[in-house]
Amino acid sequence: MATSVLTMPWTPSPSDGVESETLTTQIEVEQTISSLLTTHMSSSNSTLLQKHQHLNFLTAILRKPLHPGYTALDASRPWLLYWTLHSMALFEGELDVGGKTRVVDTLRACQNPEGGFGGGPGQMSHLAPRGWDMIDRKGMYNFLMSVKQPDGSFIMHKGGEVDVRGCYCALTIATLLNILTPQLAANTSTFIASCQTYEGGLASSSHPFTSSSLTPPLGEAHGGYTFCAVASWAMLRPFSNEKSPAFKKELNLKSLMRWSSLVQAMPIEGGGFRGRTNKLVDGCYSWWCGGLFGVFGGLLAEETGEEVAFRDVFDRRALQEYVLLAAQNPGGGLRDKPGKGPDGYHTCYNLAGFSAAQHKYTLPASAVDKCREDFVSPFSGSRVIEVGEKEVEMILDEGESQESAEVRMREVWARSLGWTEVSKELVGGEENEVMATHPVFNLTESHVRAMMRHFYLQE
């Protein structure tokens, strides 16, 4: 049975006769969104994803010099590129050859001689940006090791802040580039688990008390950090040996699932997601929270058997409706909520969440096994290096044998590419379909596959 936020009862948040700032702003948003939904129902407008207008919006970000107001993003230009290009990829909008060359040139100018990428030309290396073939992998590995902390966390840059975004960026880069060594992964899952709060979601970081063994989370459960933490947790699975006595299932998946389900907004708010308990719905959490279900569905599949992995836990249709009806800006681009302007960040994460709601992914044991079987040793030298192709060096941990390196590379490969689409649900018809995005890396599957084939020396 197809449900819709338009036909569910629009119950406003109960006030219990207690006014407060949280309630006032909440009611305002409920009114704005529900009146927008009412207008939609009384007009003959279809629920169409305005692909053409969004592509125009994205092309403008890419090519026209941005207004000086964008100076605040001067240190985030690779991010701006990622948001724009990934959004275009979700529309199957390929850049022409000239455009691709410009991407590589822009990023090359951001690479540091000593490794890693900065936020702009000549800027200090920062964990967030990512790129591809001109990458100095050894330099990147050294950079990641230099920002790794003894407690397993990563700082965002030298002298910078510790938080789970750093873990996510580091592990994503390391997984894709095949430089995720045991040393790079050490202790990180313990750090991640220490960020889970009593609410079930995860906070930005944790910090030890000087005098005790307590390591409380800093901050409250939050969608963005929760996604980064849980996706990191999934990437670390090849390194958690369930047979070792030290292995504990430290992340409480049950309370995580409860928290994630509870942050989906009500029909009167359009069915999107909020980022924290009692905060306002916002389009970027379409991905950070909506995208979570795919990741922990895969984790739960491992823990409790297959069945749960195929069930829907959140309302996929409602999330698509939020993106279509509340987050699309009439002139192109996507936004936080009605009344806010569109931007690259909200365009990217609304669309990624929209994609996650359309394409349900999970990690079936059979698919992981198949990837394991198909994996050929990267040390066997069987792959033919094409003319002009750079040779990919296998980076090993200190004292690591080729045999054990092969085992972990196979595990990382299989758990990254074993993700399988199990069902599709399209609100507003076929023309609204966007490409599937990888539930952990948030890149289109073809990009993930192509990149990993290259760096893991697979056919």
Partner 1 sequence: MASASAAQEDSYLPFSQRPGWEDLQPIPQADAPNALVPIAYTEHYRDAMDTFRALVAKGEKSPRAIEVTEQLIRMNPGHYSIWAYRAETLLATNADLSKELDLMDELVKEHIKSYQVWQHRRTIVTSLQSSTRELPFTTRALSFDSKNYHTWAYRQWVLCHFFSSQTTPAPLSERKATSSAEEDGDEKKRKSVWQEELEYTRELLEKDVRNNSAWNHRFFVVFESGEGGGEEKEVVEREIRYTKTLLSLAPNNPSAWNYLRGILSHSHLPLSSLTPFVTPLALNTPASMPADEPPVSDKAELPAVGAVEWLADAGAEEAEKEGTEGGREKGVEAAALFRSLIQFDPIRTNYWQFRADEVLQKVGIAV
Long-range contacts of 73-79 (CB under 8 A, 24+ apart): 74/119, 74/120, 75/119, 75/120, 75/123, 75/126, 76/119, 76/128, 77/106, 77/110, 77/119, 77/120, 78/107, 78/110, 78/117, 78/119, 78/128, 78/129, 78/130, 78/131, 79/119, 79/128, 79/129, 79/345
Chosen from partner 1, Zn ion, none, partner binding at 8 (C-beta under 5 to 8 Å by type): partner 1
Chosen from partner 1, Zn ion, none, partner binding at 197 (C-beta under 5 to 8 Å by type): partner 1
Nearer to partner 1, 305 or 407 (CB): 305
Nearer to partner 1, 50 or 261 (CB): 261
Nearer to partner 1, 95 or 394 (CB): 95
Single-letter amino acid, residue 85? L
Can you tell me which of 173, 318, 325, 457 binds partner 1, judged by CB under 8 A?
318
C-alpha closest to that of 355 among 276, 453, 426: 426
- In angstroms, the CA 172 to CA 387 distance is 28
- Find the shortest distance in angstroms from Cβ 114 to partner 1: 14
Residue 261 interacts with partner 1 (CB under 8 A): yes or no: yes
First to last CA, the chain: 43
- In angstroms, the CA 143 to CA 404 distance is 24
Can you tell me which of 41, 198, 339, 407 binds partner 1, judged by CB under 8 A?
198
Can you tell me which of 282, 315, 336, 445 binds partner 1, judged by CB under 8 A?
315
399: how many CB neighbours lie within 10 A of its CB? Answer: 7
Residue 150 interacts with partner 1 (CB under 8 A): yes or no: no
Can you tell me which of 2, 68, 96, 381 binds partner 1, judged by CB under 8 A?
68
Can you tell me which of 86, 130, 222, 359 binds partner 1, judged by CB under 8 A?
222
Phi, psi of 261 (to 5 degrees): -70, -35
Residue 217 interacts with partner 1 (CB under 8 A): yes or no: yes
- The encoded tokens of residue 443 equal 């890149």
Q: What are the residues whose beta carbons fall under 8 Å from the beta carbon of 336, sequence distance 6 or more?
A: 282, 283, 284, 327, 346
Nearer to partner 1, 77 or 410 (CB): 77
Number of residues in contact with partner 1 under rule CB under 8 A: 95
Residue 112 interacts with partner 1 (CB under 8 A): yes or no: no
- Contact range with partner 1 by CB under 8 A, out of 29-37, 55-63, 334-342, 369-377: 55-63
Can you tell me which of 148, 276, 335, 346 binds partner 1, judged by CB under 8 A?
276
- Find the shortest distance in angstroms from Cβ 354 to partner 1: 17
Can you tell me which of 34, 219, 370, 392 binds partner 1, judged by CB under 8 A?
219
Residue 113 interacts with partner 1 (CB under 8 A): yes or no: no
- In angstroms, the CA 195 to CA 205 distance is 6
- In angstroms, the CA 7 to CA 280 distance is 22
Can you tell me which of 228, 266, 417, 435 binds partner 1, judged by CB under 8 A?
266
Q: Residue written as tokens 């739960």?
A: 300
Chosen from Zn ion, partner 1, none, partner binding at 4 (C-beta under 5 to 8 Å by type): none
Within residues 115-144, the interface with partner 1 by CB under 8 A covers 118-124, 126
Phi, psi of 56 (to 5 degrees): -60, -40
- Find the shortest distance in angstroms from Cβ 152 to partner 1: 17
- Positions annotated as catalytic residues are 222, 276, 279, 282, 284-285, 336, 343, 346
Nearer to Zn ion, 269 or 282 (CB): 282
Q: What are the residues whose beta carbons fall under 8 Å from the beta carbon of 245, sequence distance 6 or more?
A: none
Residue 71 interacts with partner 1 (CB under 8 A): yes or no: yes
Which helix (H) or strand (E) segment holds residue 361: the answer is strand 359-362
